[in-house]
Amino acid sequence: MQGTLTQDGNSVTATRDLINQRLASGDFFWLDLDGIDSEAHDVLLTSFHIHHLAADDAQHFGQRPKVEDYDNFTYMVVHGAGLDEKGTLEVHFIIAEHYVITVHRGNCPPLDAVHERQARRGVDNVITPQFTVLYVMIDHLVDSFFPFLDVFDNQIDDLEDAILIKPTDQQLGTLFDMKRNLISVRKVVTPQRDMFAAIISGVTTIPGVTDEGQRYMRDIYDHLIRISDLVDGYRDLLSGTLDTHLSTVSNRLNVVMKQLTIIATIFLPLTFITGFFGQNFAWLVTRITGGWAFIIFAILFELICAVALAVYFRKKGWLGADSA
Amino acid sequence: MQGTLTQDGNSVTATRDLINQRLASGDFFWLDLDGIDSEAHDVLLTSFHIHHLAADDAQHFGQRPKVEDYDNFTYMVVHGAGLDEKGTLEVHFIIAEHYVITVHRGNCPPLDAVHERQARRGVDNVITPQFTVLYVMIDHLVDSFFPFLDVFDNQIDDLEDAILIKPTDQQLGTLFDMKRNLISVRKVVTPQRDMFAAIISGVTTIPGVTDEGQRYMRDIYDHLIRISDLVDGYRDLLSGTLDTHLSTVSNRLNVVMKQLTIIATIFLPLTFITGFFGQNFAWLVTRITGGWAFIIFAILFELICAVALAVYFRKKGWLGADSA
Amino acid sequence: MQGTLTQDGNSVTATRDLINQRLASGDFFWLDLDGIDSEAHDVLLTSFHIHHLAADDAQHFGQRPKVEDYDNFTYMVVHGAGLDEKGTLEVHFIIAEHYVITVHRGNCPPLDAVHERQARRGVDNVITPQFTVLYVMIDHLVDSFFPFLDVFDNQIDDLEDAILIKPTDQQLGTLFDMKRNLISVRKVVTPQRDMFAAIISGVTTIPGVTDEGQRYMRDIYDHLIRISDLVDGYRDLLSGTLDTHLSTVSNRLNVVMKQLTIIATIFLPLTFITGFFGQNFAWLVTRITGGWAFIIFAILFELICAVALAVYFRKKGWLGADSA
Amino acid sequence: MQGTLTQDGNSVTATRDLINQRLASGDFFWLDLDGIDSEAHDVLLTSFHIHHLAADDAQHFGQRPKVEDYDNFTYMVVHGAGLDEKGTLEVHFIIAEHYVITVHRGNCPPLDAVHERQARRGVDNVITPQFTVLYVMIDHLVDSFFPFLDVFDNQIDDLEDAILIKPTDQQLGTLFDMKRNLISVRKVVTPQRDMFAAIISGVTTIPGVTDEGQRYMRDIYDHLIRISDLVDGYRDLLSGTLDTHLSTVSNRLNVVMKQLTIIATIFLPLTFITGFFGQNFAWLVTRITGGWAFIIFAILFELICAVALAVYFRKKGWLGADSA
Amino acid sequence: MQGTLTQDGNSVTATRDLINQRLASGDFFWLDLDGIDSEAHDVLLTSFHIHHLAADDAQHFGQRPKVEDYDNFTYMVVHGAGLDEKGTLEVHFIIAEHYVITVHRGNCPPLDAVHERQARRGVDNVITPQFTVLYVMIDHLVDSFFPFLDVFDNQIDDLEDAILIKPTDQQLGTLFDMKRNLISVRKVVTPQRDMFAAIISGVTTIPGVTDEGQRYMRDIYDHLIRISDLVDGYRDLLSGTLDTHLSTVSNRLNVVMKQLTIIATIFLPLTFITGFFGQNFAWLVTRITGGWAFIIFAILFELICAVALAVYFRKKGWLGADSA
């Protein structure tokens, strides 16, 4: 069992005996577990009398945000933005009258935030001791989406600009990855938002959340709506960016094809003319021996053709400054 | 603290002492703050006893439209169309029984509207003194979206026309920017509309809003629905415009490719013929020496080919008036 | 003030005095106004005691369909299909116990329908006198969408057929205009439908609408759902038509490019061969002087190439009846 | 009046007198009408005392599925899959305590189903006599959508396969027609489903539908949900098929263009070389007279070019088995 | 009748007599049927007194997930992921006070799970004996979607990667098949989710599901929401993949066309020049006899043209490392 037991601002490494002792005393404590091994699982079942469905869930990360009411405790799963691009940061809460258990895995910055807050304010917990742990951690988890989405915002803008400059296949791969990331963020933000809507409307109650505590929950809910709106907006923009890519490529193709067509339209006729006077008809060859014949047929005729075509293209707007 | 304190139509620069004095008197006054510095923040907390969650929100602009009920006041955030294209105009309201506090940043035309109204009507406030400030400012903020959307409407039409004339990459960038703008307007209009729906249905109550006041709120709500419908309509049109762009480009490409194909189909065979008679087969060369050989093979043969192809293209509808 | 006052089936030009006299008598009358000038506005405020928010709305056309309850009257806005393609036909109703005021602008066919109905049935008003005016006009306004949508239906079919025959840029412009029209129709039909849903469910009550009257309202509601379903269906079809356009253009491009490729694939190799035998290598030239050399290299060789390519294209399905 | 009057399993041609007599007797009977002519309309109004809004609706087919409650009867419109591809099969029901009236137009297989059922079970009607007629006909109408959608399912699959083999313009027309058909089916299935949801939830009551009858209604509702889900699924697949069409065409274009590019890239340089040695520079001509010059410049040089290009294309994956 | 009758953990082959005997005894038993033949149908109707609508449904697989309440039993249909790609695994449940009947067809792994669980725990059924059968089977059925969707997830990623490497027609077919599969999974997952929402909210009650049992149902519901979210996410990704395909193909086309344009732009002018000096104008031919004429016109002139074009293309970014 890898855990930390905090009481009155003092943290010690958690052991089964220590937990049993604190539970017996009836004073409030906070147990933080870094993953659930078989010992921790056993402690949850036997010492805390946690329902085995909840104890099982705590062992299996990848749960969706949810709040579940049991007889003697409330089970809660909250997600924050992931530390790297692989998935989200998931924390499970077991909230009872005399204790709060948090379950995380590996590095978890919101934990430090709680310790720092407790250090700063000493033991004077805001509202209720459960609520301090709960609010500070959830607030930290939820707000971690904002910097993540800021980066996302800039990425979309950069991508859009890059596409307008030069559309590439790599950008399509990036767009797909961003879409996938956004879907995975959305998958946790939407149920999280709805979960807090239920909490602030009073449909769901959490031990230790007073009327005053509800206001803090409303603040978290407000942030979640903003995040959810942002995610929906980015989703729209991403699909707009994909459309821009396709349209830009098509535009480029048009430019390329115009160039090809101009070249072909100018040189195919001219080459035909040179081919014409390269034929071995003796009758023709003997009649175009003079300098005037050369100037008229080979020089002037070709020039007239070339100029006529250039004029034609300029009139169609294919040549000149605005031909892109 | 940068603020203006207005009572009975007279405005003076706000100071901490003046505010405390007015609060003690119990007469209604309106305090307008241009941003919240640390002194203003302190005044909110200590003189007005504003909940620190609300005082913190007032310091951080970029809030979504919302109305939050506290014990001794109601906190409200309302947005109007931005003065430039960067974001929206945001005003925070703290409405209590004896005062209204408005928080804005920088230039804020709706403020002038309130002063002008108060000047025009003297001190006879409509319904309740809170409501005059609230209604005139919100009405002004909400209605500021109409000219913004009018411009938007014309922009879409102009863009659509420009695309049908000549699709370019620049238009794609403009479309993306417009989509982004529309999303950001939508992000404030939708919650603002829902907020007023809650107000006029009586779910949310605001100090100083009487039954008569509700009718004015209904009027604002009506405008917000219209704005929201407009925004949804423009969103649809924007995506339609993007589709038009792609289709127009494809159409143009088709025209270009037809021209290339016509040129190639006419001149590749003709050039082959001239090439044929340019070969150095002595047997051939010695048999096409006469004038008739030249006229038949070099002139007539080529002419027949060219005419046959022209007829073929005309039959396929690729040449002539309707060939675009 | 341009208005008509109708009582017991008799219509006279409305004046302020006449209105005041009728109001004093307490008998039911119907006042129809062609726009609200300042005199009419004043009459509404002072003679009828209409709330100034309603009187202001009546002056500003472009309102969304709505029904608003005031102390002494109900305010209602209903739209019908426009007489030309610019916008919809808008009628405002002010319904009270002893009078109905209708406000329209310019030509308004539903008015004639009411007069005709009153003439036909004399003064025996169906259900209540208010309801006759209300029902006949709204019924006429709502049903005016059906012929409009019939035309729309045919337009889509014609456009789809035209696109499959020959996709053009003009069609894209038409599609965009149709989309815009549909959006503007939808913007009035959807709230109108929801408004009648509220009326027939009893959430909203209108003076003079009895239980029996509700059945007529249900009939109007039924028509509005059908119109709304039609509009949604056409929206789907329009976007399908735009997709068809793009796909058809791409298909055409494919056909064009196949032709270009066939021409180039046949004539580029042949021209190379003629070029080969057009070279001035004396060694070559002196060895291809005979008739057989000409027949083998110039005729047979080229024919074999041409036939081989034709066979190849036929095998790929690019030539022949099904090559489109 | 074209109608059949059925009582105790015996069917006779309906006349006004017969109907009046049966109505007077108070025994249950079933009247089936093939369209409403003016006599039938009059019978509905005067003998049955049907509300004239309902009698008018019964005359005008093209109603949406609905159930409307009147004082003395319930009016119901139910649709089944059409016998041909033009529209749906529409049946109107007027259900009262002592009679059921069904209104259809032309050929209507569900009618035969009722007669057959009555013949099979004699006069022992299940639950109530009204319900037998109602349930058997509606069940038959609703289930008629299944074979229709089965055909649709196969059509989509066939179309998808055909598109992957060879995309054509005709397929686009077929897709558009299928979309239109699906929209028209959806337009009747969705309200029909919602109508039965209201019936089984008890919001809407129908004369003669007992608790046991509700179970049969639930069965019909279950089928309608399945149909509705199928329709939504096919809608998704249709738009997927349209996208496949566009992508397939683009893929084909790519293949065509690669071929053109290969041909041009091989033969344009080769032709340039032959052109080079076809120039009439005496200095050149006199220096390439020998056999070696011919072999080196005309044969080897060209071969090297051709081989180098072939190697290049193979390396790019444009040639060989996987070049499609 | 192919069935197994299990009581107190002992399974025997079911016969009509045995069933009647157990029903008479009143002890709980579980009857599992592999399809419903006419004998089983008759047993359901006569021995169990199952409503014939339910008995008919049990005979016809392809039902949507549903729970239906009858007087003496509850009828339930639950789907799991199919064993192969054709459809889903469907199990029907008839749950009464003294027995549970399960109906499956062919191979059904969840059955083994129940037997294994009963063997492991002996006869100590969790909560109620009905619930053990119900929960273990449904849990197994629902969780069978997870490995299915994992495979799906990988397929999408692989496809996206494959498309970015080389878009083909086969991938379009695969995408369409995946879309179809996803739609069919969605068609069972969505109603299944809603069904369990109704169960855990208490709207629907099932015999033998106690308060404690509700928690297990909530667990199943939680899994169903996750599955439903995954399905929605994949749907989004699939359409994104289709868009990527189209954009990648367009990108490739652009590259191909650039190559063609480069080749044509370089060689068409050069070939024109060689053609020019291949003309048989005696005046020209006699003036370009010297070595210098050859070097200047044939070598230098052509080289300058080629270099100028290469520089031009490099400046446009069409040549070099980033030209893809």
pLDDT in tens, E165-208: 989 999 999 999 999 999 989 999 999 999 999 998 888 888 88
Query: Closest approach of chain E CAs to the CA of A305, in angstroms?
Result: 13
Query: Closest approach of chain A CAs to the CA of B76, in angstroms?
Result: 13
Q: What SS3 class is residue E38?
A: helix
D213 vs A223, more confident: A223
Query: Closest approach of chain D CAs to the CA of C249, in angstroms?
Result: 9
Interface test with D, best of C250, C309, C319 (most D CBs within 10 A): C250
pLDDT of residue D155: 93
Beta strands in chain C (DSSP E): 3-7, 10-13, 29-34, 66-69, 74-80, 89-95, 99-104
CB E189 within 8 A of CB E80: no
Residue among C136, C140, C144 nearest C82 (CA): C144
Cα A260 to chain centroid, rounded: 41
Separate counts of helices (H) and strands (E) for chain C: 11, 7
Contacts of A248 in chain B (CB under 8 A): 169, 172
pLDDT over 90 at E123, yes or no: no
Contact A66 E222 (CB under 8 A): yes
Contact A236 B183 (CB under 8 A): yes
* Percent of chain E surpassing pLDDT 90: 52
Q: Measured between alpha carbons, how far is B117 from B123 in angstroms, rounded to an integer?
A: 10
Contact E284 D282 (CB under 8 A): no
Write the pLDDT tens digit of every residue in A35-78. 999 999 999 999 999 998 999 999 999 899 999 999 889 999 99
Write the pLDDT tens digit of every residue in A298-320. 889 889 988 998 888 888 877 65
Provide mean pLDDT across the span B156-174.
Answer: 92
CB neighbours of residue B83 within 10 Å: 14
pLDDT of residue B119: 66
Contacts of C278 in chain B (CB under 8 A): 275, 278-280
Q: Which amino acid is at E243?
A: D
Residue among C95, C120, C105 nearest C30 (CA): C95
Q: Neighbouring chains of E at 3+ CB pairs within 8 Å? A: A, D
Provide mean pLDDT across the span D174-189.
Answer: 92
3-state SS of A81-102 is CCCCCCCCEEEEEEECCCEEEE
Q: Measured between alpha carbons, how far is E139 from A168 in angstroms, rounded to an integer?
A: 46
Nearest to B242 among A219, A247, A257 (CB): A247
ipTM confidence: 0.83
The chain-wide mean pLDDT, for chain A, equals 88
Contact E256 D254 (CB under 8 A): yes
Q: Neighbouring chains of C at 3+ CB pairs within 8 Å? A: B, D
Contacts of D166 in chain C (CB under 8 A): 317, 322
**Could you say which DSSP state residue A64 is in?**
P
Contact D254 E253 (CB under 8 A): yes
CB neighbours of residue B107 within 10 Å: 10
Nearest to A260 among E248, E254, E261 (CB): E261
Contact A164 B169 (CB under 8 A): yes
CB C249 within 8 A of CB D260: no
Contact D215 E256 (CB under 8 A): no
Radius of gyration of chain D (CA): 36
Radius of gyration of chain E (CA): 36
Query: Closest approach of chain C CAs to the CA of B257, in angstroms?
Result: 7
pLDDT over 70 at B125, yes or no: no
Contact B274 A275 (CB under 8 A): yes
Distances (CA, A) of D25 to D16, D41, D44, D94, E249: 14, 22, 17, 19, 77
Q: Measured between alpha carbons, how far is D163 from D171 in angstroms, rounded to an integer?
A: 7
Q: What is the pTM of this model?
A: 0.87
Write the pLDDT tens digit of every residue in E93-120. 999 988 999 999 988 888 888 887 776 6
Q: Measured between alpha carbons, how far is C7 from D18 in angstroms, rounded to an integer?
A: 47
Radius of gyration of chain A (CA): 36
Contacts of D66 in chain C (CB under 8 A): 222
Contacts of B249 in chain A (CB under 8 A): 247, 250-251, 254
Interface test with A, best of B182, B246, B283, B302 (most A CBs within 10 A): B246
* Tokens of residue E118, six digits: 């009963």
| Lowest-pLDDT range of D30-39, D123-132, D184-193 | D123-132
Interface test with C, best of D63, D170, D184, D249 (most C CBs within 10 A): D249
Contact A265 B253 (CB under 8 A): no
- Please, how many CA atoms are within 13 Å of residue A175, restricted to the half-sphere of its CB? 34
Q: Is E193 exposed, middle or buried (0-12, 13-18, 19+ CB in 10 A)?
A: buried
Per-residue pLDDT band at A202 (split at 50, 70, 90): confident
* pLDDT tens digit at each of 324 positions of chain C: 899 999 887 889 999 999 999 999 988 899 999 999 999 999 999 999 999 899 999 999 989 999 999 988 999 999 999 877 667 899 999 999 889 999 999 888 888 888 877 766 544 455 777 788 888 899 999 999 999 999 999 999 999 999 999 899 899 999 999 999 999 899 999 999 999 999 988 888 888 888 888 888 999 999 999 999 999 999 999 999 999 999 999 988 888 888 899 889 889 999 999 999 989 888 888 888 888 888 888 889 889 988 998 888 888 877 654 444
Q: Neighbouring chains of B at 3+ CB pairs within 8 Å? A: A, C
pLDDT of residue C178: 93
Contacts of B272 in chain C (CB under 8 A): 267, 270-271, 274
Contacts of C297 in chain B (CB under 8 A): 281
Contacts of C298 in chain B (CB under 8 A): 276, 279, 281, 284
Write the pLDDT tens digit of every residue in A73-82. 999 999 999 8
Nearest to C248 among D172, D179, D290 (CB): D172
Residue among C189, C81, C145, C218 nearest D57 (CA): C218
Contact C247 D245 (CB under 8 A): yes
Beta strands in A61-173 (DSSP E): 66-69, 74-80, 89-95, 99-104
Nearest to A274 among E164, E253, E276 (CB): E276
Contacts of D274 in chain C (CB under 8 A): 272, 275-276, 278-279
Nearest to E278 among A180, A252, A278 (CB): A278
Cα D47 to chain centroid, rounded: 40
Q: Measured between alpha carbons, how far is E50 from D218 in angstroms, rounded to an integer?
A: 16
Contacts of E271 in chain A (CB under 8 A): 267, 271
pLDDT over 70 at D210, yes or no: yes
Nearest to B298 among A218, A240, A279 (CB): A279
Q: Edge-to-edge strand order for the sheet containing B74-80?
A: B10-13, B3-7, B29-34, B99-104, B89-95, B74-80, B66-69
Nearest to C278 among B243, B278, B283 (CB): B278
* Tokens of residue B31, six digits: 């305090």
Write the pLDDT tens digit of every residue in A108-139. 888 888 887 776 654 445 577 778 888 889 99
Q: Measured between alpha carbons, how far is D247 from B312 in angstroms, rounded to an integer?
A: 30
Residue of C nearest to B216 (CA): C53
Contacts of B237 in chain C (CB under 8 A): 176, 179-180, 183
* Tokens of residue D123, six digits: 């006069």
A203 vs E24, more confident: E24
Distances (CA, A) of B83 to B34, B59, B86, D183: 16, 21, 8, 44
Q: Which amino acid is at C286?
A: T
* Tokens of residue E165, six digits: 């490497």
Residue among A138, A153, A126 nearest A222 (CA): A138
Q: Neighbouring chains of A at 3+ CB pairs within 8 Å? A: B, E
- Please, how many CA atoms are within 13 Å of residue B257, restricted to the half-sphere of its CB? 24
For the CA atoms of E20, E24, E27, E32, the dihedral, rounded to the nearest 10 degrees, stands at 20
Radius of gyration of chain B (CA): 36
Per-residue pLDDT band at E323 (split at 50, 70, 90): very low
Interface test with B, best of C169, C236, C248 (most B CBs within 10 A): C169
Contact D257 E257 (CB under 8 A): yes
How far the first Cα of chain C sits from its last, in Å, is 67
Contact A285 E283 (CB under 8 A): no
Query: Closest approach of chain C CAs to the CA of D174, in angstroms?
Result: 11
Nearest to B257 among C53, C256, C278 (CB): C256
Contact B283 C289 (CB under 8 A): yes
Q: Phi and psi of D272, rounded to 5°?
A: -60, -40
**Residue A122 region, left (φ>0) first, then alpha (ψ -120 to 50), else beta?**
left
pLDDT of residue A123: 42
Q: Measured between alpha carbons, how far is C103 from C92 in angstroms, rounded to an integer?
A: 5
* Tokens of residue C193, six digits: 């439908």
Provide mean pLDDT across the span E277-281.
Answer: 89
- Please, how many CA atoms are within 13 Å of residue D316, restricted to the half-sphere of its CB? 15
Separate counts of helices (H) and strands (E) for chain A: 11, 7
Contacts of E256 in chain D (CB under 8 A): 254, 257-258, 261
CB C75 within 8 A of CB B241: no
Contacts of C248 in chain D (CB under 8 A): 169, 172
Which positions ≥6 away from D153 have C-beta within 8 Å?
A: D230, D234
Contacts 24+ apart (CB under 8 A), A315-321: A317/B166, A318/A258, A318/A262, A319/A262
pLDDT over 60 at E124, yes or no: no
Residue among C323, E253, A264 nearest B316 (CA): C323
